[in-house]
Structure 1
Amino acid sequence: MGSRIRAGQSRPPRRDPSERGTGSSKLADTVIAWFAQNQRDLPWRRPGFSAWGTLVSEFMLQQTPVSRVVPRLEEWLERWPTPADLAAVPAGEAVRAWASLGYPRRALWLHACAVSIAERHGGVVPHDVDELLALPGIGDYTARAVSAFAYGHRHPVVDTNIRRVIARAVAGQGEPSPPSARRDLAAMEALLPQDPPQARAFNAGLMELGAIVCTARAPRCESCPLARSCSWRAAGYPEHTGPRKAVQKKYEGSDRQVRGLIMAELRAAHKPVTDTEIVTLWPDATQRDRALAGLLRDSLAIRAQGGYTLPS
């Protein structure tokens, strides 16, 4: 298949082997140096930011843009600066404070996680990956991210941005293959410096590079520190021919929108929301009932005398 030069992308120069260094050291050094000069000022990167704050930020950043997370994170940590503080309030308060971040089940999982940390770990976020994985709502990525970013342990951390940079810069593919924890972690491990502080910086730097330069739709290749050694650029930006990420359905008119409207009503009310009030939120009774049933099933809403409330 022929190559194509995208808008804003010049034809790549002949690759200079000297820039690749030996193994992955040159790539890692380049990314770390770039990150030191170009990283965004984000709360979780500031000195003294707590492990609890890192954990909260990782929950919030799942499927939510950084710009929406930062103000909510700061409000959250001012109100609940430790896991014990959050564990001491009803789960519904966590859901209420989650507000418009979306996917509010994350608030329930975060509350359950805080309770577990308070009861089983003396209120201290564990640093061990296996102990983190044993907490409610924590998967492989979050466990490794907290251990690496909050405690400085050497672990490969892989998110969507990192997968995309590795696919392009190393494998020469326009898009990454479908996620595979085993394959993706091995690919990142092969690039990761042995020194823990350098590994931490490289994890964060590669993630930042994918977030602000090597973006999915409009990569800024001329600004990329890896431009001269990027395999995808050297190959002429070949089209991706493998499986593609599923396109998310439109939000407008979806069950997600109806669920969001009901959740907004529950958060705003400090008394049970009646069936009559819920009827006014959406005209399609079948879709409205389906959304409400889903919220009850997910424990985001509970039946109460006179109507429905957030979980207690």
Structure 2
Amino acid sequence: MPDLATPLIAWYRENARDLPWRRPGFSPWGTLVSEFMLQQTPVNRVIPHLEAWLERWPRPADLADEPPAEAVRQWANLGYPRRALWLHRAATEIRDRHDGEVPRDVDALLALTGIGDYTSRAVAVFAYGDRHPVVDTNTRRVLARAIDGAAQPGPPSKGDLAAMAAILPEDDAEAAVVNAATMELGAVVCTARTPRCAICPIARLCAWRLADYPDTGDARRTQAKYEGSDRQARGAVMKALRDASPLPLADVIAEWPDTRQRDRAIDSLIADGLAEAADGMLRLPG
């Protein structure tokens, strides 16, 4: 196994982006909120929403004490609004089970609503400095290329955690830096379509580069087109409810060109707990 940690640490300390959740004193709650928001959402879109969220709800109990509708409304246009509902439930669980403090233990974090392998370890590592492997899409791509010589990673698996653990230094602080550096490298240098190998700190160690960039296939799922999709219809319904809730059911995106798709979007939002229907009205969850 090549020593990837040493060049990654040196590169990160010189080149890491200045992001709110990397600054000294950033709270565990802020870290948890940022990780929820960063799922499938670009950094530049997250930052203003994160800052507004933490200004309004600086502690988990502050959010938990408000109705879920307020979390969904504050989520605005970040997309995938179930994350707002899950974050509200997690805040309530933190208030009720953990005296309002975000837990440090990975298993306790995993027991919270909406938190999986990545988010639980990200909070334990980046908020508390514990030593765990943290693996996101960018990490998986860097490991696939540098270690396996593959152009793109395969489907996510539990083996990803073992692969990341294998390159971590024993020191907790250095391990945290390597976790962050590997993600950062995948985000800004070892990108999916146009990797910038000329400035990569581990280029001389990269198995994919040393093999002359073989085309090993791409098993990544391609996302369905957004325009005209059910996702777009759901987003339009959510925007209408954020702007004016409750609304008469008949008035909810009444101009939508596909009536059946509109009704399907409303039904799916009700099933997901993101909307409630009663007495001919549709509203955000109470």
For the aligned pair, the TM-score class normalised by the smaller chain equals over 0.9
- 1:44 aligns to what? 21
- 2:284 aligns to what? 310
- 2:171 aligns to what? 195
C-alpha contact 1:272 1:305 (8 A) present in aligned 2: no
Does residue 57 (structure 1) correspond to residue 34 (structure 2)? The answer is: yes
Please say which of residues 228-237 and 71-80 is displaced more in the overlay.
228-237
Give secondary structure in 2 for the equivalent of 1:216.
Answer: coil
- 1:273 aligns to what? 247
Does residue 27 (structure 1) correspond to residue 4 (structure 2)? The answer is: yes
RMSD over aligned CA atoms reads 1.0
Structure 1 stretches lacking a partner, 5+ long: 1-22
- 1:207 aligns to what? 183
C-alpha contact 1:262 1:281 (8 A) present in aligned 2: no
Does residue 234 (structure 1) correspond to residue 213 (structure 2)? The answer is: no
Letter of the aligned partner of 2:203 in structure 1?
Answer: A
Letter of the aligned partner of 1:218 in structure 2?
Answer: T
Residues in 2 aligned to 1:301 and 1:281: alpha-carbon distance in whole angstroms: 19
Residues in 2 aligned to 1:130 and 1:296: alpha-carbon distance in whole angstroms: 30
- 1:7 aligns to what? none
Residues in 1 aligned to 2:258 and 2:14: alpha-carbon distance in whole angstroms: 53
- 1:137 aligns to what? 114
> In the TM superposition, what whole-angstrom CA distance separates every residue of 1:147-170 from its partner, at most 9, and x where no partner exists?
000000000001110010011111
Please say which of residues 280-289 and 123-132 is displaced more in the overlay.
280-289
Residues in 2 aligned to 1:142 and 1:227: alpha-carbon distance in whole angstroms: 29
C-alpha contact 1:87 1:114 (8 A) present in aligned 2: yes
Residues in 2 aligned to 1:275 and 1:129: alpha-carbon distance in whole angstroms: 43
TM-score for the superposition, normalised by structure 1 = 0.90
Structure 1 stretches of 4+ moved >3 Å = none
C-alpha contact 2:236 2:253 (8 A) present in aligned 1: no
Determine which of 247, 257, 260 is the counterpart of 1:283.
Answer: 257
Higher relative contact order (CA closer than 8 Å, sequence separation 6+) = 1
Q: Counterparts in 2 of 1:223-262, with a 5 A limit? A: 223-241=199-217, 244-262=219-237
Determine which of 76, 81, 92 is the counterpart of 2:69.
Answer: 92
> What count of residue pairs does the alignment treat as equivalent?
286
Residues in 1 aligned to 2:137 and 2:240: alpha-carbon distance in whole angstroms: 33
TM-score for the superposition, normalised by structure 2 = 0.98
C-alpha contact 2:147 2:207 (8 A) present in aligned 1: yes
Please say which of residues 172-181 and 64-73 is displaced more in the overlay.
172-181
- 1:118 aligns to what? 95
- 1:293 aligns to what? 267
Letter of the aligned partner of 1:211 in structure 2?
Answer: A
C-alpha contact 1:126 1:132 (8 A) present in aligned 2: yes
Residues in 2 aligned to 1:167 and 1:195: alpha-carbon distance in whole angstroms: 24
Residues in 2 aligned to 1:120 and 1:283: alpha-carbon distance in whole angstroms: 46
Structure of greater Rg: 1
- Aligned-residue identity in percent: 63
Structure 2 stretches lacking a partner, 5+ long: none
Residues in 1 aligned to 2:103 and 2:22: alpha-carbon distance in whole angstroms: 19
